[in-house]
Amino acid sequence: MDSSTIKSLVERELQREKPYVNYHGISSANIRSFLVEPFTVRTDPDDMETQPRDMWVVLQERDTPTEGYVIVYDPLKKTWGVAEHTGNNRYTLVISVSSLSEALDGM
């Protein structure tokens, strides 16, 4: 997978226009301002079973990905999630869900 493939997945999710509630100020009116050029980060799935792996950051709560939460896409499981920075350029998955809107709900 490359960043253009991930961008296409994000666009497909946004076109679904599923409603969500986000308590971090992200709405359907401003969501595009939080989207970033997709890039990979080492993420611990925090499931006590699988090793950390690369996931794609698609949205950042703040300008710097090490502050606040990020929304990631997991190409291995084909799921979306919310992750937080835990140091040394590593992230921990907080939730894993089946859609971008569910990730925004869980943020």
pTM: 0.92
Question: Structure tokens of 35?
Answer: 């989207």
Question: Structure tokens of 50?
Answer: 């699988």
**3-state SS, residue 7:** helix
pLDDT of 62-81, one tens digit each?
888 788 899 999 999 999 99
* Residue carrying structure tokens 């709560």: 61
Question: What number is the average pLDDT over the span 27-45?
Answer: 93
CA distance 16 to 23: 21
CA distance 82 to 103: 6
What is the per-residue pLDDT for 25? 86
What is the per-residue pLDDT for 47? 85
Res. 56: pLDDT tops 80: yes
